[in-house]
C-alpha cells in the first residue's frame, strides 16, 4: 500500500531534456521562459529555494537566455542543452564567484578567475547556469545536512510539516533543485555516492562516471583518487547527454541496448545488510521485472567486499581530504561543521604506510573484480541506499544516529567507487510511494555501455512503477 503523504502525485519538475529541446526548436517555449520558470520556483517563499541555492545568478541567467534565444532565431543551436536551466554544486569554480564548498571557512577566499572545466563545457553547450547549489560541507557526508546554509529536503513527506526528510548528500541542493523544478539538470560530484544518494532520496536519476572520465580541474577536491563529476536528472537520457558534454564528446545519447541476453549480476553480500523491508521489496520487484524482460539475472557473491571494514580502518577519502584541509584547518577549524571536522581529524594519525597499504589493497580488489564481476556480467545490481530517507530533525539532534546513518547510506555506492566502477541510480519505487533507488554498476571505463543498458532498464521500470 502507498504510504500516506509520501511522494507528491504531481511534480513541478521540468520535462526531460529532449522534450525541452523539442519545445525550444518548435517555438513552443523560449530559453527566457524556461529560466524565468526556474527563477520563479527558486524565489517562491513557500518553497526551499533559499536553502537549496547558496547563490542565485538571476541577472546572468536571464542575459544568457536572451542571447541563446537570439542565436536560435538566427539559426544557431549550440547543443540539445542550449537554453536550458542548469544548477551547479557549490564545489565547482565559476568565474567571478567564491567557491565556498558549503562552508564558512572559505568565505574570505578570492573569487575564481576561471570556470571549472565542467562548468565551461556546460556553458559552451549553451546550458544556462541559474546558480550554485547547497551541499554537505566540503562534500564530506552522504546525508546533506548543512549547519551553515540549511538542509535541503526531499519531496518525500515534504507536505507533512515537521517530518522533512533528507535530500541526501553530499549533492543535496543539486538533487533538490531538479526535484523542485528549479533546474532541469544539475551538476554534482560523487566521491562515495554524492550523486546517486541524493538522486535516490529525491526520486531522480543520477550517473557517476568512472573517476578519470571527466577532467576535475577547477574547484575544491575531496579525494583525488575517488572524486567523480556527473549529472542528476529526470531520466537516463538526460544524464547521458550531459555526460557526453562533460566528457567533451558530441552531445548525443547512447542507443538503448536491448535487455535480452544482458548479463546482470545481483550482489548478495555486504550491500544487502540492514535493508529496510520497503527497499528490499522494491528492488526485488524491479529485478524480477528485468528478468521477465529477457535479462540474464544471476546472484553473485563478491567475497572481498567483506574485508572492506578492515581495509578501511583509515578511509581513503579521509586521508586524502585531510591532506588538502590541513593548512586551512590551521586558521579556520572553528568555522567547520563539527561533524565534518571530526571525520577529517580521524585521518590525522594515518601514516604514509597506512596510505600505501590502503592503495595497494584497493588495487588488488579492483583486479579481483575484473575477473569475478566484470568478465561475467555486463552490470551489477544492488540497492543504491538500504533505507528510506531519514528525518532531518532526528539526525540533527543525535550525533550517534548521524554517524551510524551516514555510514549505512554511504556504504553501497562507496563500495563501487572503491572498485573504480561507474554507477547509475534509477528510481524503482511505485509512483507516489517512498523513494527507492536501484543501482547499476559497470566496469571501469564501461560508462557508455552502462548508460545504454540503463536506458533499457529504465524503460522496463517505467512500465511497472
Of the pLDDT bands very low, low, confident and very high (cuts 50, 70, 90), residue 11 is confident
> Where does the pLDDT of residue 123 fall: very low under 50, low under 70, confident under 90, or very high at 90 and above?
very high
Regarding beta strands 228-233 and 205-208, do their DSSP bridges make them parallel or antiparallel, or are they unpaired? antiparallel
Q: Residue 388's pLDDT is what?
A: 98
Q: What is the average pLDDT across 187-198?
A: 98
Q: Please write the tens of the pLDDT for every residue from 398-446.
A: 999 999 999 999 999 999 999 999 999 999 999 999 999 999 999 999 9
Average pLDDT over residues 202-214: 98
> What pLDDT does 152 receive?
98
Active-site residue, from 79, 118, 154, 170: 170
Res 1 pLDDT > 60: no
* pLDDT above 50 (res 21): yes
Identify the pLDDT of residue 3. 44
* Structure confidence at residue 7 as a pLDDT band (50, 70, 90): confident
Q: Distance (Å, rounded) from C-alpha 256 to C-alpha 249?
A: 18
Exactly one of 79, 103, 194, 235 is catalytic; which is it?
Answer: 194
Q: What percent of the chain has pLDDT over 70?
A: 99
Write the burial class of residue 217 (CB in 10 Å: 0-12 exposed, 13-18 middle, 19+ buried).
exposed
Q: What is the pLDDT of residues 132-168, one digit of tens each?
A: 999 999 999 999 999 999 999 999 999 899 999 999 9
pLDDT tens figures, 226-242:
999 999 999 999 999 99
Mean pLDDT confidence for 203-213: 98
**What are 258-272's pLDDT values in tens digits?**
999 999 999 999 999
Question: For residue 44, what pLDDT band results from cuts at 50, 70 and 90?
Answer: very high
Is 89 assigned a catalytic role? Answer: yes
Q: Locate cell 541524493: which residue?
A: 198
Share of the chain above pLDDT 90, in %: 97
Average pLDDT on 378-393 reads 98
- Confidence bin at 2 (pLDDT 50/70/90): very low
Which pLDDT does position 9 carry in this prediction? 67
Quote the pLDDT of residue 6: 77
Q: Indicate whether 4 pLDDT > 80.
A: no
Annotated catalytic residue within 31, 79, 87, 89: 89
Instruction: Collect all residues with Cβ–Cβ distance below 8 Å to 163 and sequence separation of at least 6.
Output: 157, 391
170 is an active site residue: yes
pLDDT tens, position by position, 347-364: 999 999 999 999 999 999
Give tens-digit pLDDT for 26-42. 999 999 999 999 999 99
Beta-bridge partners for 297 = 264
Q: Where residue 5 falls among pLDDT bands split at 50, 70, 90?
A: low
- The CA distance from 17 to 231, in Å, is 12
Helix 31-43 / helix 17-26 crossing angle, nearest 10 deg: 130
Rounded to an integer, the average pLDDT of 337-349 is: 97
Q: Which domains does the chain have, with CATH numbers?
A: 17-309+350-464 (3.90.1300.10)
Is 194 known to be catalytic?
yes
Amino acid at each position: 500500500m502507498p504510504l500516506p503523504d509520501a511522494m507528491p502525485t504531481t511534480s513541478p519538475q521540468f520535462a526531460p531534456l529532449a522534450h525541452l529541446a523539442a519545445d525550444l526548436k518548435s517555438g513552443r517555449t523560449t530559453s527566457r521562459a524556461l529560466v524565468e520558470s526556474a527563477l520563479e520556483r527558486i524565489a517562491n517563499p513557500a518553497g526551499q529555494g533559499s536553502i537549496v541555492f547558496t547563490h542565485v545568478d538571476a541577472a546572468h541567467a536571464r542575459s544568457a537566455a536572451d542571447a541563446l534565444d537570439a542565436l536560435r532565431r538566427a539559426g544557431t543551436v549550440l547543443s540539445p542543452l542550449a537554453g536550458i536551466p542548469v544548477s551547479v554544486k557549490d564545489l565547482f569554480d565559476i568565474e567571478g564567484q567564491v567557491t565556498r564548498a558549503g562552508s564558512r571557512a572559505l568565505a574570505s577566499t578570492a573569487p575564481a578567475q576561471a570556470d571549472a572545466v565542467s562548468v565551461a563545457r556546460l556553458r559552451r553547450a549553451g546550458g544556462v547556469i541559474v546558480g550554485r547549489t547547497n551541499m554537505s560541507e566540503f562534500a564530506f557526508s552522504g546525508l546533506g545536512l548543512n549547519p551553515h546554509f540549511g538542509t535541503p529536503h526531499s519531496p518525500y513527506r515534504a507536505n507533512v510539516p515537521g517530518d522533512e526528510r533528507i535530500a541526501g548528500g553530499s549533492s543535496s541542493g543539486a538533487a533538490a533543485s531538479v526535484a523542485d523544478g528549479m533546474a532541469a539538470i544539475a551538476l554534482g560530484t560523487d566521491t562515495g555516492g554524492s550523486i546517486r544518494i541524493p538522486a535516490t532520496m529525491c526520486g531522480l536519476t543520477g550517473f557517476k562516471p568512472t573517476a578519470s572520465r571527466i577532467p576535475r580541474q577547477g574547484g575544491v577536491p575531496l579525494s583525488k583518487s575517488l572524486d567523480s563529476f556527473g549529472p542528476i536528472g529526470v531520466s537516463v537520457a538526460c544524464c547521458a547527454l550531459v555526460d557526453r558534454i562533460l566528457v567533451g564528446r558530441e552531445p548525443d545519447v547512447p542507443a538503448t541496448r536491448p535487455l535480452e541476453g544482458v548479463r546482470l549480476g545481483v550482489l548478495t553480500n555486504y550491500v544487502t545488510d540492514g535493508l529496510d523491508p520497503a527497499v528490499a521489496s522494491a528492488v526485488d520487484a524491479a529485478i524480477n521485472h528485468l528478468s521477465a524482460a529477457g535479462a540474464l539475472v544471476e546472484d553473485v557473491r563478491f567475497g572481498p567486499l567483506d574485508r572492506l571494514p578492515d581495509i578501511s580502518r583509515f578511509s581513503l577519502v579521509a586521508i586524502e581530504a585531510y591532506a588538502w584541509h590541513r593548512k586551512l584547518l590551521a586558521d579556520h577549524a572553528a568555522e567547520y561543521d563539527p561533524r565534518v571536522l571530526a571525520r577529517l581529524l580521524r585521518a590525522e594519525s594515518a601514516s604514509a604506510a597506512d596510505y600505501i597499504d590502503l592503495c595497494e589493497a584497493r588495487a588488488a580488489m579492483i583486479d579481483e573484480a575484473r575477473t569475478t564481476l566484470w568478465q561475467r556480467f555486463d552490470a551489477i545490481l544492488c540497492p543504491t541506499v538500504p533505507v528510506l530517507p531519514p528525518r532531518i530533525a532526528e539526525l540533527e539532534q543525535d550525533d550517534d544516529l548521524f554517524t551510524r546513518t551516514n555510514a549505512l547510506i554511504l556504504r553501497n555506492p562507496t563500495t563501487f567507487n572503491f572498485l573504480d566502477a561507474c554507477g547509475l541510480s534509477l528510481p524503482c519505487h511505485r509512483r507516489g510511494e517512498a523513494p527507492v533507488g536501484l543501482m547499476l554498476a559497470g566496469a571501469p571505463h564501461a560508462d557508455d555501455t552502462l548508460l545504454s543498458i540503463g536506458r533499457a532498464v529504465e524503460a522496463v521500470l517505467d512500465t511497472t512503477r
